[in-house]
Amino acid sequence: MSDDDSASPAAVLRSLVARAVDADPADLDGRVEVVERGSESEGGDAAGSDASAPARRLAELVGEAGSVVAVVPRLDADLARRLNESLAAGGDGADGERDADPEADVSRAVRVVFTGAASDRLAGATGSVVRRALADRGVDAYRHEGESPVAVALGDDRAVVGLIDGAGVAALLWTDDPAVREWAAATCRRYLDAAEQVTGD
Render pLDDT for 52-65 as a digit per residue (tens, 0 to 9): 899 899 989 988 89
The contacts of residue 148 (CB under 8 Å, 6+ apart) are 71, 72, 73, 115, 116, 191
> What is the three-class DSSP state of 158?
strand
Which pLDDT score is estimated for 81? 82
Which pLDDT score is estimated for 125? 80
pLDDT in tens, 135-188: 888 899 999 999 998 999 999 999 999 999 888 899 999 999 999 999 999 999
Mean pLDDT confidence for 115-142: 88
Q: Where are the domains of the chain?
A: 9-34+54-87+107-197
> pLDDT band at 115, cuts 50/70/90?
very high
Decide if 12 contacts 25 (C-beta within 8 A). Answer: no
Strand 158-165 versus strand 150-155 pairing type: antiparallel
- Rounded distance between C-alpha atoms, residue 22 and residue 199, angstroms: 35
Residue 71's identity, in one-letter code, is: V
Which pLDDT score is estimated for 90? 59
Which pLDDT score is estimated for 29? 85
- For the domain made up of 9-34+54-87+107-197, the CATH class stated in words is alpha beta
Which residues sit opposite 34 in a β-bridge? 173
pLDDT in tens, 31-89: 999 999 986 544 433 333 477 899 899 989 988 899 999 999 988 778 888 888 887 76
- Rounded distance between C-alpha atoms, residue 130 and residue 128, angstroms: 5
Mean pLDDT confidence for 19-38: 91
- Structure-model confidence comparison of residues 53 and 94, the more confident one: 53
Decide if 43 contacts 37 (C-beta within 8 A). Answer: no
Decide if 11 contacts 145 (C-beta within 8 A). Answer: no
What's the sign of the alpha-carbon dihedral 156, 190, 80, 166? negative
Which pLDDT score is estimated for 199? 85
Query: What does pTM read for this prediction?
Result: 0.81
Among the listed residues 144, 198, 172, the one whose alpha carbon sits nearest the alpha carbon of residue 35: 172
